[in-house]
Structure 1
Amino acid sequence: MRSRHAAFPLFAVLSWGVMFPVLASALTRVDALNLTTARYVLATAILLALLLAREGLAALRAGGRPVEVVALGVLGFAGFNVLTNLALGHAAPQQIALFAATTPLVTQLVRWVRDGVRPRPVLLGFSLLALVGVGLVITRGRLDGLGQFGAGGLLMIGAVLGWAVYTHGASRFTGWSPLRYTTLTAVAGTAAMLAASLAADLAGWQHLPAAADLVAVAPQLAYAVIVAAVLAVLAWNTGVQRLGAADAALFMNLVPVTTFVVQTVRGYRPGAVELVGAALTIAALVAANLVTRSRAATTRAAAPVPVAVTDRPAVVDPIAVVAR
């Protein structure tokens, strides 16, 4: 059963691994914020149509949690996507993908802060090792390359933190369908992106794309909207609900692998230090994930078996049944 559920986050991360090179090519014609806004205006329109068709007008209500929905939408959609697109202007797609792969570890830290689930010291050690690997890829092992870590790295740290909070938040909406959670948070995030984009255009910090520019990036935009935004995010939130935030986040390790493969096919030839750094990052993240999974398995095995109560009728929680 879990292997079948794993198909959802697997599809999402493979889609995102391809997305980084796709978006990088589009940024040569359209500014990062305008590109992100155009992408999610279209994606949110599709999501709204799907939600209305499947669940009706009632699903548009925030269910007494409007502040949480808006905050998660701004962090997850606006925060992650805008910061990632801006970071692509300062670093190569494969470097950005390695930062995205630290999401599982950052999610563990978010759980620690929000739920009091403290990560083991070995996980923190692996996180530092993963960052060393990222540093090797970005600097290519040269001290004079540390400057390249600056803007792009800082932007991606913020992006990953926003996505980790969003991923953790999805696990707290068990009474909602993945489509409803995705759509309502997308509406909030897109509204924030639209406001920021209009302000930036009016201030002259960027330029409203011409029709010719949008036509030129139409193939990239189509992939980014339909595959990477609508289908992938729906699949991701479905995986989070069925596997849990921590287990679903493990699949982010495949993002840099996918991006490196795409870049290699396109003609990029990584140096030896970059390969060592990428291997170090991925190995550290995989090791951390294995530690997390083994600890979870041990905890489940050690859990006491509940004693049946026979003198009163069983009570079935309908929400729990639907969540399963």
Structure 2
Amino acid sequence: MSRFGSYGLPLFPVVVWGGMFIVMAGALHHVDAVHLTAVRYVVAAAVLAAVLAATAGRRAFRTEGRLAEVVVLGVVGIAGFNLLVNIALGYTAPQNGALMVALTPLLTVLVRWVRDRVRPSLATVALMVVALAGVGLVITHGHPTDLGEIGSGDLMAFLGVVGWAVYTHGAGRFADWGSLRFSTLTQIVGAAVTVLVALVADLTGVTHLPTLAAFGADAWQIGYIALLSSVLAVLAWNVAIRKLGAPNAALFMKLVPVVTFAIQIARGYRPVPAEIVGAALTVAALVATNVLARRATARATAGVRGVPVPARQPVPTRQSVSTP
């Protein structure tokens, strides 16, 4: 594949995920977030399970003594993240949700610090502050003094992304499984948990099972978030990782909130200048963080091999990059 083709490949999932937040927000007019999430992952998990069975066989569904970890990551990273973010979209703007999700790499650094005692560099911490400041500008529409009035939707989205950061960090411990296998097994767990949450919510009267007409009204939205976003985009992303390497592919994830903002603007939303500045600050900080990580990896690789690595040479890696 040509260089242009290789770098064009990850743009497909980036555009899909950028539009996903807007599509989900629209779908909530007919189906509540709990049932929408459950249907999404029942469909996605079924399709991914079929693909895994066809490509790797039944043995790929064995957890090899790691069932507890798979369950925890599926509950926190799939069910928890998506339920919280989907519910949050009923109370906050899609672009806010996309920007929160873009913070995953920075939050993953903090998770690694807490769990593995790997302290981030001072430069990384400074970039975290810049990124969070950018998010604050977007959420408060350029009025940082209004941070105390951040809505429940923004807080729920942030908590959901913390869960996704835990999932992203955990995915690194399953590199020997491959992205498809890990994604499929954790999505099966997530599907089961979201269905259970929906049943409990219905039985307690918190929610009510939507009618077939309501699901029908959201048919194309469900197809988008389940098939296009959770299956096709994920598979394309996995191919992009193999072609480009995780560090190079991860740079494209920074474009997700940019795509969401662009779609919203095309639909008539008019952001204030401070929102644009905030989004630009966040994306720039995330890109800078990625560049620092790549350089650190290059230095570590050079130290192990005893061979100097050119500053601009991409370093191959087998580490998976988790996706929405």
TM-score over 0.5 (shorter chain):
yes
Which residue pairs with 1:179 in the alignment? 180
AA aligned to 1:70 is V
Which residue pairs with 2:311 in the alignment? none
Shift of 1:41: 0.8
Contact 1:104 1:246 (8 Å CA) reproduced = no
Shift of 1:250: 4.2
1:60-75 matches, cutoff 5 A: 60-75=61-76
Which residue pairs with 1:94 in the alignment? 95
Which residue pairs with 1:170 in the alignment? 171
**Structure 1, residues 165-206: CA drift from partner, whole Å, max 9, x if none?**
222222222222322211111111111111111111111111
Which residue pairs with 1:222 in the alignment? 223
**Structure 1, residues 35-70: CA drift from partner, whole Å, max 9, x if none?**
010111111111122122222222221111100111
Contact 1:167 1:245 (8 Å CA) reproduced = no
Provide the C-alpha distance between the structure 1 equivalents of 2:113 and 2:236, rounded to a whole number of angstroms. 25
Contact 2:142 2:272 (8 Å CA) reproduced = no
**Structure 1, residues 50-103: CA drift from partner, whole Å, max 9, x if none?**
122222222221111100111111122101111110111111011111111111
Which residue pairs with 1:55 in the alignment? 56
Which residue pairs with 1:192 in the alignment? 193
Contact 1:99 1:160 (8 Å CA) reproduced = yes
AA aligned to 1:154 is L
Q: How many residues in Structure 1 have an aligned counterpart in Structure 2?
A: 309
Normalised by the length of structure 2, the TM-score is: 0.86
Which residue pairs with 1:76 in the alignment? 77
Provide the C-alpha distance between the structure 1 equivalents of 2:287 and 2:258, rounded to a whole number of angstroms. 12
Which residue pairs with 2:106 in the alignment? 105
Provide the C-alpha distance between the structure 2 equivalents of 1:242 and 1:114, rounded to a whole number of angstroms. 30
In angstroms, what is the RMSD of aligned CA positions? 2.8
Provide the C-alpha distance between the structure 1 equivalents of 2:267 and 2:277, rounded to a whole number of angstroms. 21
6 and 169 in structure 1: CA distance in 2 versus 1, 3 angstrom threshold: farther
Provide the C-alpha distance between the structure 2 equivalents of 1:253 and 1:54, rounded to a whole number of angstroms. 31
Which residue pairs with 2:263 in the alignment? 262
Which residue pairs with 1:142 in the alignment? 143
Which residue pairs with 1:231 in the alignment? 232
Unaligned runs of 5+ in 2: 308-316
AA aligned to 1:259 is T
Provide the C-alpha distance between the structure 2 equivalents of 1:8 and 1:120, rounded to a whole number of angstroms. 32
Provide the C-alpha distance between the structure 2 equivalents of 1:55 and 1:28, rounded to a whole number of angstroms. 39
Give 1 or 2 for the bigger CA radius of gyration. Answer: 1
Provide the C-alpha distance between the structure 2 equivalents of 1:184 and 1:284, rounded to a whole number of angstroms. 33
Which deviates further from its counterpart, 26-35 or 6-15? 6-15
Provide the C-alpha distance between the structure 1 equivalents of 2:296 and 2:134, rounded to a whole number of angstroms. 25
Which residue pairs with 1:203 in the alignment? 204
AA aligned to 2:34 is L
Shift of 1:295: 2.5
Unaligned runs of 5+ in 1: 307-319
